Structure 1
Amino acid sequence: MGVTIVGCGDIGTRVALAYRDEGVDVAGWVRTQQSAEKLRDVAIEAVQIDLDRPVIPASEIGSQRLYYFAPPPPQGQQESRVAQFIAQLKNRPLPQKVVYLSTSGVYGDCRGEWVDESRPPAPMADRAKRRLDGEQRWRAWSEQTGCALVILRVAGIYGPGKLPVERLRSGQPMVAEAEAPITNHIHSLDLVKTARIAMQRGVSGEVYNVCDGAPEPMTRYFNRVADFLGLPRPPVISLEEAQQQLSPGMLSYLRESRRLSNRKLLDELEIELDYPDLQQGLPASV
């Protein structure tokens, strides 16, 4: 029984390599020729496909363990790529199980409160609304077909190649720590481990928060990364100044504050994180 990874970027490639090393047949689906060549360079079968206009051969998915890691479209509030992908699965052999990578952003602003999986989603940003729409479409498909589905709501990912180096080098400012929202993280290698365990023993229909359980103010995160890399800390500005100086994307993150609980992840999936905080995770990020 093989593995298919739709959206085989950094995390997907790491998952694929882990299966490859175990002798499992694995294929990564990517959008560009360059991405396909990168997979082939590490002996991963590559399928080049445009998820905005997918044409899926029936043999590509049936009986596979399917990871859906592809990003949603860049605009709007609907996950049209998931909708079209699911439409292509109609009257075709079903995958054995689907693991869908969503975001903790679906919870919206929780005013710094602790958040577990029982909290109703209330996304604010369109990017989070698209992810929730994707969740709902996969869930409806799972209920209709009986195919197993696990949803992972992932916090901010850091790790090799995923530190805000350019932002720090360019001297972009940040609000004072006292005014910063609470943010959450997961090391990319722990996310890879979690995705594989979710496929192995995640309960169908369940949602799991994927984070290290060590939330902190966003500004403190940037400062800790800067100190670790030997770079200057971001200049401090007020929230009012931030409205004029920071990008719309960063401002959207500043409007949301929550402390993610990973108790369900640890208890039900019995995952032991290798990097439960930044102190241990940053040295494994360069």
Structure 2
Amino acid sequence: MSHLMIFGAGYSGKAIARALRGKMEQVSGTTRGEGNVSTLLCQAIAPFIFDGGALSEDLRSELRGVTHLVQSIAPGAPGDPLLRLCNGDLKSLMPQLAWTAYLSTVGVYGNHDGEWVSEDTPCRPVSVRSTERVAAEEAWAEAARQADVPLAILRLSGIYGPGRNGFVNLEKGTARRLVKKDQVFNRIRVEDIGAATAFLIEAHEGGIFNITDDEPAPPQDVIAFAAGLMGVEPPEEQDFETAELSAMARSFYGENKRVSNAKLRALGFNFSYPNYRVSLRQLWDDGVWRDE
């Protein structure tokens, strides 16, 4: 029996579950608190509480039947929470495990001054969180090797989609048009994360894959395009150097690169939302931009 477990069934995890509905005989997922249990149940995800600490007996029992695993929980200073609890021995928790994925970030590449990067580009992370991601990727690669199962490391660019997009920010009045010379970012629609995961499971593929759109673009252009579709005036442009920003927000602008998705495309995967214009237009025209 095919049984998918998603550790950290949040925004991306739920999209993965939707993409695999009908393809997996059973889908389970973890959440940090009781408040999200009903949401998971409504999406046909069997819910389990996991806050990064101990595994409950119910969760341990569920894991014994898991065949496919997606780890979506960010690492912390002590390392990856799941690997820590099983001492890197995945089969001790999931004896039937046949395939696994680790959701990482394109932040592991660090800054490349706007140049293109691919899965073959050496990682040179800048931030602490990206350094932790590189360590987690390496730990998962070793655990998967010991368990003799394929591992797909999915390096995600900036995630957006229903409920999390420029329209929502414009409506809330929180949208900003920060301008930094030559700065670009890649993005990825959350549904394409789900579809890519389902594609890799079906192909039983392992390896590192950039899950990202085709078109790295200046962030101020994306907000201006969304405002045009809404028929509202975009916020005034702000110079990045003088803008008031949190340390974390400012750190994102310290990494400038163009991320290639050619490896995944070469396997035959097609992105439904290859650029922000196609994606935002669909969200607006179908009236689903508020629906998370």
User: Which TM-score bucket, shorter chain as reference?
Assistant: 0.7 to 0.9
- Whether 2:43 is the aligned partner of 1:42: answer yes
Q: Which residue matches 2:5? A: 4
SS in structure 2 of the partner of residue 15 of structure 1: helix
Report matched runs for 1:68-217 at 5 Å: 68-73=71-76, 76=77, 79-87=79-87, 89=90, 91-92=92-93, 93-165=95-167, 167-168=169-170, 169-170=172-173, 173-176=176-179, 179=181, 181-204=183-206, 206-217=207-218
- 1:28 alignment partner AA: G
Mapped partners of 2:24, 2:139: distance in 1: 32
User: How far, CA to CA, are the matches of 1:260 and 1:249 in structure 2?
Assistant: 21
Q: Residues 162-201 of structure 1: CA distance to partner in whole angstroms, max 9, x if unpaired? A: 2144644435644336x25210011111111001112222
User: Which segment is superposed worse, 83-92 or 220-229?
Assistant: 83-92
Q: For residue 279 of structure 1, report the CA deviation from its aligned partner.
A: 1.9
Give the aligned residue type for 1:226: A
CA displacement at 1:96 relative to structure 2: 1.0
Q: Distance between the aligned counterparts of 1:162 and 1:172, measured in 2?
A: 12
Judge conservation of contact 2:16–2:193 (CA < 8 Å) in 1.
Answer: no
SS at match of 1:128: helix
Q: CA deviation at 1:17?
A: 3.1
Asked whether the equivalents of residues 175 and 239 of structure 1 are also in contact (C-alpha less than 8 Å), the reply is: yes
Q: TM-score, normalised by structure 1?
A: 0.88
- Whether the 8 Å CA contact 2:175–2:223 is kept in 1: the answer is no
Counterpart residue number, 2:27: 26
Aligned to 1:280: 278
Comparing 209-218 and 227-236, the one that deviates more: 227-236
Q: What amino acid is the match of 1:29?
A: T
Q: What are structure 1's unaligned runs of at least 5 residues?
A: none
- With over 3 angstroms needed to count, the CA separation of the structure-2 counterparts of 1:172 and 1:16, relative to structure 1, is closer
Greater Cα shift, 50-59 or 190-199: 50-59
Within 5 A, what are the aligned runs for 1:225-244? Answer: 225-242=226-243
- C-alpha deviation, 1:82, in angstroms: 4.2
The count of aligned residue pairs is: 278
Partners of 2:147 and 2:179 in 1: CA distance: 50
Once residues 284 and 24 of structure 1 are traced to their aligned partners in structure 2, the CA distance between those partners, rounded to angstroms, is 31
Equivalent position of 2:250 in the other structure: 251
| Structure 2: distance between partners of 1:240 and 1:49 | 41
Tell me, in whole angstroms, the C-alpha distance in 2 between the residues paired with 1:162 and 1:57.
Answer: 33
Which deviates more, 47-56 or 216-225? 47-56
2:286: which partner in 1?
Answer: none
Q: Which amino acid aligns with 2:142?
A: A
Secondary structure at 1:182 match in 2: coil
Unaligned runs of 5+ in 2: 284-288
One-letter code of the match for 2:265? L
Q: Give the whole-Å Cα distance in 1 for the aligned partners of 2:220 and 2:19.
A: 34
**Partners in 2 of 1:184 and 1:63 — Cα distance?**
33
Contact 1:62 1:96 in 2 (8 A): no
Shift of residue 225 of structure 1? 2.5
CA distance in 2, matches of 1:228, 1:256: 29
| CA displacement 1:75-123 (0-9 Å, x = unmatched) | x4x5342432442746341511101111001000010001111000111
2:51 alignment partner AA? D
8 Å Cα contact 1:275-1:281 kept in structure 2: yes
Q: Which moved more, 1:156-165 or 1:222-231?
A: 222-231
RMSD: 2.3
Corresponding position: 1:224 with 2:222:
no
Worse overlay, 52-61 or 105-114 = 52-61
Instruction: Give the TM-score normalised by structure 2.
Output: 0.86
Do 2:31 and 2:49's aligned partners in 1 also have CA atoms closer than 8 Å? yes
Q: Look up the SS of the partner of 1:57 in the other structure.
A: helix
By how many angstroms is 1:57 displaced? 1.2
CA distance in 2, matches of 1:82, 1:227: 44
Deviation track 1:14-35 (CA, whole Å, cap 9, x = no partner) reads 3223433346211111111111
Encode CA deviations 1:198-235: one digit per residue, 9 max, x unaligned: 2222533x101111111111222222233333343232
Give the percent of matched residue pairs that are identical in Structure 1 and Structure 2. Answer: 27
Structure 1 window deviating more from structure 2 (135-144 vs 167-176): it is 167-176
Query: For 2:269, which of 268, 271, 285 is the aligned residue?
Result: 271
